[in-house]
Amino acid sequence: MGFVLRDAYPISQGHALVVPRQHVARLYDFPEDTQAALWQLASETRRRIDEELRPDGFNVGVNDGEAAGQTVMHAHIHVIPRWNGDVADPRGGIRWVIPEKARYWGGE
C-alpha cells in the first residue's frame, strides 16, 4: 500500500511522509479504500512518532495540487511533530499558508 520515510527537508525533528507505492499526483485520485488505508498509516505514524519523541502536538496534512504548494507530484501525507515554543505563536496552524488570513482571532 504505502511506506513511511523521514522528510528530506524536515520542518521539525521526526517530520515524516506517508507515501503510497502506486504513483498518482494527488491523494484524492485514489479510490476511497486506498485513501482510508493511507490515512490509517498516517495515524500509525503519528502514534510511533508520539511514542518516540513525545511532541506536544502535530500538524498532519496534504498539499493537494500546485496551487496548494505541492512541489512533489507524487501523493503523500505529512506528519509533522510540534513542540511548545517551536514558534512564537502557533495559533492559526495551517492557516499560515495564507498569512493575511491566518490571524482570525481579535483583540491582540
Catalytic one of 15, 23, 74, 76: 76
Residues 20, 75: contact at Cβ < 8 Å? yes
Distance, in Å, from the CA atom of 75 to the CA atom of 2, rounded to the nearest integer, reads 11
For the question of residue 23 being annotated catalytic, the response is: no
CB atoms within 10 A of CB 66: 10
Tell me whether strands 57-61 and 16-20 are parallel, antiparallel or unpaired: unpaired
Burial class (CB in 10 A: 0-12, 13-18, 19+), 77: buried
Give whole-number Cα distances, 82 to 10, 35, 59, 91, in Å.
Answer: 12, 24, 7, 12
User: Which residues have a catalytic role annotated?
Assistant: 76
